[in-house]
Structures are given as structure tokens and as C-alpha cells.
Amino acid sequence: MAARPYATLVPRQTHRILAGHCWVFRSEFQTIVGEAVDGEPLEIRDQRGTVVGSGLYSAQSQIAVRLLSRRSVEFDAAFFRDRLRQARALRDQRLGGRPARRLVSSEGDLLPGLIVDQYGDRLVVQTTTVGMDRRLPMWLDLLKAEFSPAQIVERNDLTVRRHEGLPERTGVLHGPADTRLVVRVGRCDVEVDLLDPHKTGSYLDQQLNHEAVARWVVPGARVLDCFCHLAGFGVHALLAGAKEAVAVDSAEASIAGARRSAELAQVGDRLVTHCANAFDWLRAADDARETFDLVVLDPPSFTRNKDSVAGAMRGYKEIHVRGLRRLGVGGRLATFTCSHHVSAAMFLETVLEAAVDARRILRLEETLSASPDHPVLPTIPESQYLKGFVFSVMEAF
Ligand code: SAH
């Protein structure tokens, strides 16, 4: 067998990878020995020639290699099947019989470049690196063998694929053409379309948080579910005893989905929906002095890179000032950021600055993160993107 191609790392920059991150940047290569082929295995060695890991090479991306292992391994179907089974075991343990769950979460499952979501007997696949994309036929075989799915949908309409020189692509790869289904997410049935441009049909990372936040609902509460998508927070709050939930989202498809979720949960008469820009809507609600007992803020990532963080923080502050002013003493705020550029500490600081402006004293009641089917590798900060807090308003002055 021909010697495996490998890259050596420039000195002094190896510590990040040795410390547990799996991305090797092109700028960290010193030499490449042998031929590095797009999408194919490449080993990484330190200055002394010791293997520090092996991964798949991306010829076009600045992230030239994503390590799949710290050892020198053969990337055959058996290797990937083992990883897939490990990923499944975690979900079976942590999410039990829930039919909707993320089966494979890229770096979090040591399978960088692969995401697989399960909705009942259907699977949705995303490949974000050229190495995983080339292996899509193998993944289809493995997924069919391990899960016998009724349908497999490809959702490769992800702009990150451009960095890898990959085209955007969606479609049904296996099974019937209809991609809509009703599936239980949390305690509610929701209608999802697996070709819905929002994630892969729904935000599974919030699945357990919908229930966690609902535990803060007091009977008869009035709830605001801002940036609601399918109103997972609002509908769970209604099922937990809220009198009314107001759900706001700028996408018409989200609002239609939210209405459908509420109907399926038989709380449609208590869900009020507004298709609006949440910034405008919150300003108007603030002017009108509307009041709520629970405000949920779950905006999209306001920042995709470090340069836009300052603007994002201003956006977070604005919605928090307005959201907090709509709460009286005893009211609760459940708030989330899904940007890995915004740390939990930065986010907390911004909420507290907003509380000063809104003249509210807050007590931190609960800290939340993505549901356990989105595992976190503490050495890879990008995997810890979703941060949430529940606060109570102790005093308004
Ligand atoms: N809370 C949802 C997930 C929300 S994701 C859940 O738990 O499932 C963010 C949502 O914000 C998306 O549905 C998107 O359509 C919506 N959105 C994005 N920008 C917005 C804006 N400016 N105003 C209102 N909604 C917005």
C-alpha cells in the first residue's frame, strides 16, 4: 500500500489541535508529503513526525482538514458505522423514544461535516465538507442498513458548502416524494416539511427547552413567544396552563406552521399570531404598554462572524430592554442566543445592561443549552453555540 499522504504542522501552532480542536487551518501546514487529494484522507504530523490525527482534506477551504481521529485510521465503512452507532447510543440514552432527534451532530459526534436528523421513520442528511459529500452514497447505505428509514431527504442548501467548492443541492434520495409529515416534537405534534428552509424542518436544538421553559409558566399566564418559528415555546406554554400566547415571526411560513402546531395541540383558540419584524413589533408593544407574564426571545444568529458582534450585541440589547419592560414583578424572561461568537458571559452582560435600562432587578433561575442530541465538545467552542437563561423579575422601579 502506498504511504499515506500527510501534512506537517508549523511549529508553535500545534497546541490548539493538541488541546482538542479538530480543525486544521491551511495556514498551519508546513509541508505536505505525498499528494493531498480533495475529499480524501490526510494525516497530520507534528514536527517530530508523530501522527497527531487523521481527517479528510478539503482543497478549497481555509479549514484544510477536519480531524476524525487522533490516530492513524482507515476511513472505511466499518469506521463510520462505529461512529454512527455511538451517536445513536447517546440519543437512545438521552432522548429515549422521542421520534424527532438529531442523530449525528458533526463535530459533537466526531463526524465533522455530517448532520443527520431523524423525524420518525424519515431521515434528513446534510454534508458540509467535500470529504463527507463524496461519501454520501456510503452514508446512504449505512443509514439504510442501521435505521431502515422510509425516506431520506438531502438538505444541502447550506451556504457553508461554498467554502468547500460544493454546490447547493436538495431533494429526496430515498423513498416517496412527499416530504411533509406530522411528528411529535417535545410534547406536541407539529407539521414539518423536511424541505423547509429553516434548519431541517424544525429547531430540534430547542426541543427540551420548550418543555423546560413551560415549567416556568404560572396558570393563566400571558406569554410572548418572539421569533417563534413553529411556536414550540408558545404552544408548550399553553399546554402548561397559560391563558394566551402571542407568537411573532417575520416568516409567513413560520406563522402558518405555528398556527398548525396550535391546532394540532388543540390550543389554536389561545394562540395569537403576528407575522412581523420582531424589532418593530416589540417597539409597538412597548409603546402600547402591553404586559406579559413570560417573554421568550429566541432570535436567529445576529452575527456570522467576529466583525459583526458589536452590531449583534446592540440588537440583543434592544430586544431585551423592550422585552423586560413588558414584564412586571414576578414576570419571567427566557432568552437565547445561538451564535458561537457570543459567549454566555457576553450574553449575560448584555441582558443585565438591558435590565439596567429597563429598570428591572433580575434573578437568574435556570441556565439552558442545546438539547443533548447536539453534544458539546468543550475543546471546540463552535459546538457550544446555543446558550439560554431564564430570569425572574424581582423588582421593577
Ligand atoms: N423559537 C423557535 C426557533 C426560532 S429560530 C423554536 O424554538 O423552534 C428564529 C426565528 O426567527 C425563525 O423562525 C425566523 O423566521 C425568525 N426571524 C428572523 N428574523 C426575524 C425578525 N427580524 N423578526 C421576527 N422573526 C424573525
pLDDT in tens, 138-174: 999 999 999 999 999 999 999 999 999 999 999 999 9
Grid cell in block for residue 229: 418559528
At residue 33, the pLDDT reads 96
Q: What are 276-334's pLDDT values in tens digits?
A: 999 999 999 999 999 999 999 999 998 878 888 999 999 999 999 999 999 999 999 99
**H or E element in which residue 279 lies:** helix 278-287
Tell me which residue has its CA closest to atom 20 in ligand 1. Answer: 250
Q: What are 266-277's pLDDT values in tens digits?
A: 999 999 999 999
Q: What are 59-76's pLDDT values in tens digits?
A: 999 999 999 999 999 999
Domain ranges in the chain with CATH number 3.30.750.80: 77-177
The one-letter amino acid at 31: T
Q: Which residues contact ligand 1 via a Cβ below 6 A?
A: 198, 203, 206, 227-230, 232-233, 248-251, 254, 277-279, 298-300
Catalytic residues: 338
List 190's β-bridge partners, or say none: 183
Domain ranges in the chain with CATH number 3.40.50.150: 183-396
Strands 244-249 and 100-105, bridge-based pairing: unpaired
Residue of 197 and 131 predicted with greater confidence: 131
Q: How far is the CA of 69 from the centre of ligand 1 (A)?
A: 36
Domain ranges in the chain with CATH number 2.30.130.10: 6-69
Distance CA 350, CA 355 (A): 9
> Global pTM?
0.95
Distance CA 194, CA 191 (A): 10
- Which CATH number does 183-396 carry? 3.40.50.150
At residue 142, the pLDDT reads 98
- Going by CATH, does the domain composed of 6-69 fall within 3.40.50.300? no
Edge-to-edge order in the sheet of strand 63-69: 23-25, 63-69, 51-57, 41-45, 6-9, 29-33
- Which CATH number does 77-177 carry? 3.30.750.80
Our mutation pick for probing the ligand 1 site, out of 207, 227, 280, 295, counting the most ligand atoms within 8 A of Cβ, is 227
Ligand 1 atom showing the smallest separation from residue 206 Cα: 7
List 77's β-bridge partners, or say none: none
Tell me which residue has its CA closest to atom 21 in ligand 1. Answer: 277
What is the average pLDDT across 2-30? Answer: 88
Q: How far is the CA of 328 from the centre of ligand 1 (A)?
A: 25
* Cβ-based burial of 145 (10 A; exposed 0-12, middle 13-18, buried ≥19): exposed
DSSP code per residue over 3-45: PPPEEEEPTT--HHHHTT--EEEGGGEEEEES---TTSEEEEE
